[in-house]
Amino acid sequence: MAAKKIDLITVKNDKLSLNIKGKPLHPDHEKEFPEANKAQAVCSFSSTLKENFDFKYHDPEIDQLKLSPYNSIKSYPLFFEYQNYDFYLEAEMPIEIYHPNREIRESLSHPNDNPNVLYGSINFGSDIGYSEFEIRSNSQVVLTFKLEVFPSKIDYQKDYNQLLEEVNKEVYNLAYDFLRKTYQQMKISEKQNITEAEFFVIIENIFEDLFKALKRVEESPHHRIIRKRNVRPAARVKKVGRQSLKWLNKNSRHYDQELKLPEKMLAVEKKLSYDNFENKFIKWSFSELIKRLKHFKVNYRSSKLNPDQDLIAEIDKMIRKLKLKLKHSFLAEVGELQKIDSISLVLQMAPGYKELYK
């Protein structure tokens, strides 16, 4: 006899409640998750509401809901690929739900057009790993809920973690290869071997890590000291050195014989310069990302009758963040990259640079 759906997760207070129902079973074997299997899944939430929440989860050892004193738990896996789960949300205020997967978020609707209630059945399909939901009211996030979807046909603890590691490694390799291999000989090549969809998935996965790497670079950007020479009115020259006196001897017309004072002098000032190959490469990478994101947005909007506005907003947000760094960081003082002769040791070894280059 097939097991009935029971409460798997409840998150409740006086203003908002979330209830998720499903079968507490290993989907392949129609039995409770094997006791010998020590795999654990993460489930957590956070909220901007001041009221405390009761957070309960199904514990198969006691076969009932268990109250957690924390906002995050590790328990037997409760959610699996290709399974149906009933979501029920109710609040004192109008609510909407956001999930990166459009099909998932459109699975929930307002019964009887009640804006304070959301209900529907969600199937994660083959999307294993972490899945995050945002509950919003008047465009403001009031609750963020994250759960972990497990695969159903592999040895959980060992193979699943190994699979995630392999997937993450492959995504990073593809992403860094995209940044590294866009040059062809002495000029920038526009030819790419990845599709627009693959490009966006890659960038979406590594976007925050790119900015973490850039932050490390900003703490100590590669630089060199240059001497800047300018002829100025003598009164504005702060330091007179040997080069200044040598210049004055060669340009005696700037020396007032009556006053016995120079009218103009050569000012030699030391200045930090960030205009080098390594920083030009970073600037070029960010500029190329902006171009590709814009191109992806145009193609996406033209290919869809009903484009996902949340996705478009996310693309615009990424573009704004990239532009902000180009205009308001040390990159604003960096010139354009024209050619690539060799990859420097700074790019390969320096903290932050090597992550951006890889």
pLDDT digits (tens, 9 = 90+) for 219-264: 878 777 767 776 667 666 666 667 766 776 777 776 667 666 666 7
Max Cα distance, the chain (Å)? 113
**Radius of gyration in angstroms for the set of CA atoms belonging to the chain, rounded to a whole number:** 30
pLDDT category at 125 given cuts 50, 70, 90 is confident
CA atoms within 13 Å, Cβ hemisphere of 51 = 14
pTM of this structure = 0.53
The pLDDT of residue 21 is above 60 = yes
CA distance 357 to 285: 9
**Each residue's pLDDT tens digit, 181-194:** 443 333 333 444 45
What is the predicted pLDDT for the residue at 176?
45
CA distance 150 to 81: 6
Helix (H, G, I), strand (E, B) or coil at 101: coil
The pLDDT of residue 162 is above 80 = no
Proportion of the chain above pLDDT 70, given as a percent: 68
- Per the DSSP assignment, residues forming a β-bridge with 11 are 18, 55
Average pLDDT, the chain: 77
Range in 34-38, 124-128, 289-293, 325-329 the model is least confident about? 34-38
The pLDDT of residue 68 is above 70 = yes
CA distance 191 to 86: 46
User: 27 near 82, Cβ under 8 Å?
Assistant: yes
E strand residue ranges, 23-152: 25-26, 31-32, 41-47, 54-59, 64-68, 72-75, 79-80, 84-91, 96-98, 117-123, 129-137, 140-150
CA distance 6 to 9: 9
The DSSP code sequence of 278-315 is: HHHHHHHHHHHHHHHHHHHHHHHHHH-SS--HHHHHHH
What is the predicted pLDDT for the residue at 276?
82
Helix (H, G, I), strand (E, B) or coil at 266: strand
CA distance 131 to 7: 19
The pLDDT of residue 32 is above 70 = no
Strands 54-59 and 64-68: antiparallel
Element (H, E) at 220: none
Residue with tokens 């790019």: 347
What is the predicted pLDDT for the residue at 179?
47
The pLDDT of residue 77 is above 50 = yes
What is the predicted pLDDT for the residue at 184?
34
What is the predicted pLDDT for the residue at 193?
47
Higher-pLDDT residue of 319, 232? 319
User: 161 near 34, Cβ under 8 Å?
Assistant: no
Helix (H, G, I), strand (E, B) or coil at 211: helix
Mean pLDDT value of segment 337-357: 53
Q: How many residues does the chain have?
A: 358
